[in-house]
Each structure stands twice: as C-alpha cells, then as structure tokens.
Amino acid sequence: MARRWHRLPYPSTHSLGLGASVAAEPWTLFLDSCGRGGLRGRFDILLHRPRWRVWQEGEHVYLAEGDGTAQISAEPLIPTLRAIAREEQQRTSDLGDFPTPYPFAGGFAGFFSYDWGRRMLGIPGPDDPTLPTAALAWYDSALMVDHVSREAGFWGRSQDLPDWLEEPPASPLEPHCPGRGSAWRPRWSAAAYRRAFADVKAYLRAGDVYQLNLAQAFSGRWSASPWQLYSALRQRNPAPFAAFFSLPEASLLSLSPERLVSLRDGRLQARPIKGTRRRDPDPERDRALAAELCASPKDRAENVMIVDLLRNDLGRVAELGSVRVPELCALESFPAVHHLVSSIEARLRRDCDPWDVLLSCLPGGSVTGAPKRHAVELLQALEGQPRGFYCGSLGYVDARGRMDWNILIRSLSYRAGRVQYWGGGGIVMDSEVEAEYRESLDKVAFIAATLDGVEDLVAPATAGAERRAAEIAR
C-alpha cells in the first residue's frame, strides 16, 4: 500500500503531548523545534517503529530489519547507510501527495557520537561503553507539526496511522515534574580545571592550536522517566534543535541551540555558536551582559576562528567559489544564556551527497578547536575520558537528500536513573581561567537546576567560579 499524506488537526497541547505516547518505545525519535516559529522553529518531527535499525559498536556495524535479529554488516557504517537508502528509495520512490514544505519524507535519522567523528579523523581512543558510537534508523512514516501554518499531518500508510492520533493525550508539562534528582557532580574540581586550562594555554602559546574547546563531565541521578526529565528541561530551556531519542541502552536528551549543518535544495548551511554570557533576572543587567558579549574582542575572535574552520569543512564538498558568510557574530538569546552565532552557506558539489558532508564536518569545529585534527588529539589527552554523545550530532537525511543536524551540546544521556552531561567552551589566548570555568557551569546550569529541583529559570549570579564550585560540590 502506497504512503500518503494524512492531514491532522494542529495539536492544542503541543507536539510534546503526542510524543508522550511512544517515548518509552526503543528507537522513538522526537525532533523538537520547541515551537519557536520562524526558520529554525517551525517543524516538529515524531518518528517511531523504524523499518531498519543500524548502529555501530567498536569496529562492528550492526543492522536489523524491523524487529528482526541484528546482523553484522560487511561494510563500514556510511556505505551500509548508503546501500539501505538506495534500496528504500527504489522501493518507495513515489512521494505522491507529500507536501513540499514539510522536512522529512522518510529516511534515516539518528545520531553520530563525538567519538565516531574522532575515529573518522584517524585518532585512536576509547569509546563510551554506555551507548553505541552511532545509531540511525530508516523511518518510512513520520508525524509532523508545522508551527507557522498551525497544521499537522502524518506521512505513511493508512494502516500505520497511530490510533492515539484521533485523541492525543494531554501534554506532560506539569508545573512540578514528579521526578527528582541528585545534586550535580562535576568530574573535575576547580583546581583540576585550572590545571587543564594551564595546559591549554601552553599549547596556544606554543602555536600548536589557535583555539581549544575544553569541556568537563558532570553526573547525577533522576528518579522519574527520561521523557519526564526531557519535559522538565524543555520548560526551562526551549531550543530550536532539541531532541529526544529512546534507544535500547539509554536515552539521549538534547536541548541544543546549535545547528551543525543543513542541506536543502543543494544549499548547505552551518551555524556555529561561539561566545556566551549567562542571562540575568534583572532586565537592565541582562541587556548589559548581552552588550558586553557583542563588544568582546575575545568572543568575536573565538567565533571568527571557527567560522574560518567551517568554511574549510564546507569547502571540501562545495562548488568552487560558493562558500560565503552572510551572518557574522549575531546575538541570539535563549532562556539560560546569550550567544554569538554566525552562518556559513555554500552550494553542494554534484559529485557529493549528504553523507560526504557529514564526513567532512564531524566532529563539529565549534566543539573541538582549530586546527580541528590536532585539537581533537590534544583534547583526547586533556579530558581523560571519551566524550561519547557529547559534541556529536543528531538529525536526519531524508529520501530527497534533505538533511538537518544539530550539535549535541546542552545534552545528556539517561541510563537506568543515571544522568551524564558536559559543559565547556572555546579557549583562546585572551581567555581567563575563572571566566571560562564559570562559563562551563553557566551553560549547564539549567540541567543542574532541574535535577536539583530548583525553581528559578535563570541561574543566579555568583561571586565567581570558586563560589559556584562550592555550591555544586556540597
């Protein structure tokens, strides 16, 4: 039976209520724009019950059709994905009445970890044992919500239309989430961060790198379901590239504000974030912090370095002369922080496909440093543990060749009640250790506040990194 477009009423309780019904099923993926509207907050995509599952653990790539038993692929991951995509595109080539503006006409969706990207750069090291290094699935059908036109629809066969769509459940956005967590625990003390920072500065002075994105890991516990944790985090920090991905081993929860790369009608776009200030409850002080960020030579230099790196990444797969920077160091404000964001655009070469683009861009330059390969080598030694999902990428490549991928920052993994997440920032010669340490905490303050049951949406100002470190280590 052919797939077709089934129009649905716009959900009065937002798409989050629709996802609640299937969030516990393995391989359910919710790509959440958080209903911000505009170009980066228009569509939500809910995917579940895939036709193919593909994942990598160590050197082995596994694939399984439907609910079938997994087999080891004879090919590496990207050739395996390409082969399945070709087969599925031939099987379902007729897009019929699929409405063009909607973003996902069936295809692959999932994530690549940071460590998968590190491996592609030829840099050895351990992998996070709690998650695959990559996990993607081919989804024939999709539920999508358009927050601009205030419409919704299901793309798929009539027999696959979920029965609960006739009467969607209420959104689980309770004002007081029933889950409770433990106090957040940083892997590094403030003193340990300072030692790592000093090492970074030595590399910078020696000219080994121009920028290095140093990060530290945090851990905690959560007593309720991962979907309830996602709902609570989303209330505090809605973001345009948010996502929830339920895997058999664990769940990935992302409130990412950052796009790695998108592709539509042959046009590529990357939107790196570099430069951060916390939000302040006082409007006047908040405006001052935003103005300070915009005027900061250090933050602008940090952003421009990564723009140059990403121009090179896209240039490897772009038509000659097509790479341009239409937006440089623009201010974007989110509930927890202000950011400087730039935009790099290019036109994809005819002999390249979306997978070539990902191979060129992973791991994202904004979360490694410049030059990228050597930065990743140094971070491997400095941080002392695999990053796993953190600073990887989650998104999709659909059957038409469109794609959109985030960078997995402001993100966490949930496994059997245990939560892990990271915070970090780019360090350049002008960076100061106390400010950088404080920034690594400010970026994940909304996660810590959610786990600790703190009600304030904006983290209060502190006298400095030492005081914040004392608060979180109590």
Catalytic positions are: 258, 274
Instruction: Calculate the dihedral angle through the C-alpha atoms of 215, 221, 227, 228, rounding to the nearest 10 degrees.
Output: -120
Amino acid at 429: M
Q: Which two tokens stand for residue 41?
A: 């907050």
Which letter, b or e, does each residue of 169-203 get, where b requires 16 or more Cβ atoms within 10 Å of its Cβ? eebbbeeebebebeebebbbebeebbebbeebbeb
Alpha helices (runs of H) in 362-429, residue ranges in sequence order? 372-383
> In 10 A of CB 7, how many CB atoms?
9
Selection from 308, 329, 310, 302 nearest residue 429 by Cα: 302
Interior/surface letters 15-24, b for 16+ CB within 10 angstroms, e for the rest: bbbbbbbbbe
Q: Please give the Cα distance from 32 to 46 (Å, whole number).
A: 8
Cα distance between residue 37 and residue 167, in whole Å: 25
Q: Find the angle CA(446)-CA(451)-CA(453) to the nearest 5 degrees.
A: 90
How distant, in Å, are the alpha carbons of 145, 353, 365 from that of 6?
12, 30, 40
Give kind and range of the element (H or E) at residue 454.
none
